[in-house]
Amino acid sequence: MQKLQPFIDSLQSFAQKRLKFDRPPKLFFKQDEENSKDVFGKTAHYDPREESITIFISNRHSKDVLRSLAHELVHHMQNLRGDLSPEKCGGMEMGYTQNNDHMREMEREAYEQGNLCFRDWEDGCKKQMQEIKKIKENRNMSIKISKNELKGLIGRILPKRAVSENIDAESREADSLIQDILERVTNRLKQQIKEEEKATDTEAKDAIEQVRKSKVFDDNKDAGSDKPAAAKKKPKKAHAKAAAGESKVRTPEIEQELYENRFGARNTRLFEKLLDKWSK
């Protein structure tokens, strides 16, 4: 029953909005092994005086228990609007649904409205679970996104965490799944961002080092010789300013400029590609 309780709460809340009754009934779930062995045993019943529903749950499928609840909730609605008063119900002996026109109509409404209410609630739950599953399975998100932005995205996919009034907005299971999605996706994004930044920094440093070495080598080699200028005599004072100007290649500002020239356009294209992929 503990696992079934969130679904019971959700269905009851959904039915209350659908059937428009102002107060919920008392609920009792009864274990009865002997009753479960009887082909014509009890499944559920409603007490108009106590405004209570009793559902027999021994050896029953959870879905069947919920369907019985939906049926009895219609009887609760009928009672609150005055259709199950002793004067209208008359005798309730065996065969009353065949002999009492009023009670036959009450049962017809309960079967029709109860089953439709349950089916709409069930289909809404399934659709919501599919949408949440799609989000959980999306492990390829590579753009940086905040927790609030992710909540907003989920809110657009699952407006009010319901589908055309077919899902209880306060469903405990839906809240738990959404929280799990937020935590898993946030952790995954942080990990991917760190890996990409580390890889980009390493690649950038290697590229800058290659450019710097190439620049120094070209500026210091002899004309017609492949040997660097380390073996040459020190430059004269007349060339001191030029040599000082060449040292700017090694400054952080020049390195940053080289990095941007080499990787700026690439990083922009990568971000636009990831953003376009996520927004679809």
Q: What's the rounded mean pLDDT across residues 228-247? A: 47
Which of 21-35, 176-190, 248-262 is least confident? 248-262
pLDDT for 49: 93
- Is pLDDT of 247 > 60? no
Higher-pLDDT residue of 39 and 134 is 39
Name the one residue in this structure whose structure tokens are 């690649």. Answer: 203
- Assign 244 a pLDDT band (cuts: 50, 70, 90): very low
- What mean pLDDT is reported for the chain? 76
pLDDT for the residue numbered 63:
95
pLDDT for position 151? 64
Gap between the Cα atoms of 31 and 37, Å rounded: 12
Query: What share of the chain in percent tops pLDDT 70?
Result: 60
Instruction: Report yes or no: 259 and 208 within 8 Å, Cβ to Cβ.
Output: yes
- Binning pLDDT at 50, 70 and 90, where does residue 37 land? very high
Domain 5-123 fold: Zincin-like (3.30.2010)
pLDDT at residue 178 greater than cutoff 80: no
Q: Which two tokens stand for residue 174?
A: 């839906």
**Residue 82 pLDDT more than 50?**
yes
Residue-wise pLDDT tens digits, 117-132: 999 999 999 998 888 8
User: Domain ranges in the chain?
Assistant: 5-123, 195-279
**How many whole angstroms separate alpha carbon 218 and alpha carbon 239?**
16
Looking at the predicted structure, is the pLDDT value of residue 228 above 80? no
Q: Please state whether the predicted TM-score (pTM) of the whole model is above 0.85.
A: no
What secondary structure, in 3-state letters, does the chain show? CCCCHHHHHHHHHHHHHHHCCCCCCEEEEECCHHHHHCCCCCCEEEECCCCEEEEECCCCCHHHHHHHHHHHHHHHHHHHCCCCCHHHHCCCCCCHHHHCHHHHHHHHHHHHHHHHHHHHHHHHHHHHHHHHHHHHHCCCCCCCCCHHHHHHHHHHHCHHHCCCCCCCCCCHHHHHHHHHHHHHHHHHHHHHHHHHHHHHHHHHHHHHHHHHHHHHHHHHCCCCCCCCHHHCCCCCHHHHHHHHHHHHHHCHHHHHHHHHHHHHHHHHHHHHHHHHHHHC
Separation CA 239–CA 256 (nearest Å): 27
What pLDDT digit, counting tens, does each position of 194-204 carry?
776 676 667 66
Q: Is the pLDDT of residue 279 over 80?
A: no
The more confidently predicted of residues 226 and 274 is 274
